[in-house]
Amino acid sequence: MSGLPVWIGIDDTDSYYGGCTTWVAAKLALRFKDRLLDFPYLVRLNPEIPWKTRGNGALALKFSSLTDKEVEEVATFVMSVARGDGKTSPSLLISWGDVRQDRFAIKAIRDVITRRELERALEKIAPTSRYFLKKPGKSRGLIGCIAAASHQWSDATYELIGYRDDQSYERPEFREDVLWMDSLTAPITFANFDREAGKPLIYPHGPDPVLFGIRGEDVRVLKAGMMMLRNSCSFWMVFKTNQGTDEHVVAIRSFEQAYPYTTVSIEAHVASNPTTISGGHVVIDLIDKDGNHGQAVFYRQTGNLNRVVRRLVRGDLVRIWGGVRPETQRKVINGQGLTLVAPKNTYEEVPSCPFCHRKMKEVNAGRYICDTCGVQAVGKARLQLKRDILPNRIYQPSASAFKHLMKPAGRRAILTPQEVRSILS
């Protein structure tokens, strides 16, 4: 099958105890750098899946060609460095020509892939593919391999990851460097520094070979950012990724469409004032446009977001997004973001007497009278509600609670072909 581009898909070679799938991909990208057709892809899969690996990221590389001997070399290398600890199922896919499982890929990011769906996809790609498993029969990692190699990019960001080759556990953190880099390169770079907690976010904390990761929109700026750090890495690689794109979020109209293990975005009315439960988490009751009831919980850990949600009032129209809990009794969303679409700005009250300021009494439907002064009024009094939450602003969790796929407010999708045409017309 020479003459065709070769796709390599890798998943689940990392574990909680070390090893890292991006490290494996970076090594392969450097080894065959002369035939690399794009940056390696780092595709984050559905974050709501309970059996996911840490970060739930799958990798894919596209080369213009590889000889049979080189393919063997890739397989030997990946399988020898994959650790396969615990519940991981390290997998490698090699495909000649495009994999073209686009719908499978998007489902792996937004939903759950069943065993049957995986088997069907493997049947389809079998004539042009080979796969390798670290543990016989443990093929779940192939979901990520197929998804990463098939992923279609409607939006993308980049991450520059620096690695250390020695397995020493020392990982110096240069707080000032990161702050400096952030102030010069953000918002083209993002998720560098948690200004609330005063901590850098580019350093991982596990015993893996990653020294730092700088995320952002423009590869050249990421490279400049790396130069501003005193950290010296053994080697580095740039990944094209769906991090920061909200690709996992599905817009729905009704709570009936809120399926467990998915991340949804829904517009709904706030049905009762927010309640704070033990632990400082905030619960709001919601009613969607079809009259279905639902709930959203905003954990204390979401920091800023949790504090904003407390200020909602019954009657507000909001858009909220987050992961759907696997509960069957009712629809509960773990809130990850909020926009106030239409704030409730007024409220009605039984009128007070303009002379003695006592509350008036209702005499019959909608008519009020002051017992003392005899003054009459028709209808309730409409009063202005003071709000300290801005409409149409995107409220998000604090930096420390930000997850890979969440799109930072302020960044937007790359232009669609239609938008490009409309600008040029």
**CA distances (Å), 332 to each of 122, 265, 286, 302, in order?**
35, 12, 10, 16
Q: Give the nearer residue to Zn ion in terms of CB position, either 94 or 370.
A: 370
Nearer to Zn ion, 375 or 394 (CB): 375
Piece in contact with Zn ion (CB under 5 A), picked from 45-53, 168-176, 373-381, 401-409 = 373-381
Angle, alpha carbons 380-283-110 (nearest 5°): 120
User: Does the CA dihedral 386-392-396-398 come out positive or negative?
Assistant: negative
CA dist 357 and 294 (Å) reads 40
Stretch that binds Zn ion, among 23-31, 232-240, 370-378, 388-396 (CB under 5 A): 370-378
Residues found in the chain: 425
Give which of 125, 119, 83 is closest to 102, Cα–Cα: 125
| 149 versus 353: smaller Cβ distance to Zn ion | 353
**Smallest separation, CB 374 to Zn ion (Å):** 8
Using the minimum distance from each CB to Zn ion, give the nearer residue, 183 or 372.
372
Q: What is the smallest separation between the CB atom of 355 and Zn ion, expressed in angstroms?
A: 5
| Min CB(352)–Zn ion separation in Å | 8
Distance of closest approach, residue 354 Cβ to Zn ion, in angstroms: 8
Least distance (Å) between residue 383 CB and Zn ion: 18
CB of 392: closest distance to Zn ion in angstroms?
42
In the complex with Zn ion, the residue whose CB is nearer, 337 or 351, is: 351
Taking residues 13 to 52 in sequence order and writing x for each that binds Zn ion by CB under 5 A, - otherwise, the string is: ----------------------------------------
Q: Which of 113, 221, 370, 399 contacts Zn ion by CB under 5 A?
A: 370
Could you tell me if 19 and 82 are in contact, meaning their C-beta atoms sit under 8 angstroms apart?
yes
If the CB atoms of residues 17 and 355 are measured against Zn ion, the closer one turns out to be 355
Nearer to Zn ion, 314 or 380 (CB): 380
Minimum distance from residue 363 beta carbon to Zn ion (Å): 14
Extract the tokens encoding 33: 């750098």
Interface mask (CB under 5 A) for Zn ion, residues 330-369, using x and -? -----------------------x-xx-------------
The structure tokens 């390599």 sit at 8
Number of chain positions touching Zn ion (CB under 5 A): 6
Nearer to Zn ion, 363 or 414 (CB): 363
* Minimum distance, C-beta of residue 366 to Zn ion, in the bound complex (Å): 19
Beta strands 91-96 and 157-163 are: unpaired
Of 179 and 375, the one with the shorter C-beta distance to Zn ion is 375
The binder of Zn ion chosen from 64, 183, 372, 376 (CB under 5 A): 372
| x-or-dash string of contact with Zn ion, 109-128, rule CB under 5 A | --------------------
Which residues, other chains included, contact 374 with Cβ-Cβ below 8 Å and sequence gap of 6+?
A: none
Q: Is 373 in the site for Zn ion (CB under 5 A)?
A: yes
Least distance CB 377 / Zn ion (angstroms): 11
Q: Which residues bind Zn ion (CB under 5 A)?
A: 353, 355-356, 370, 372-373
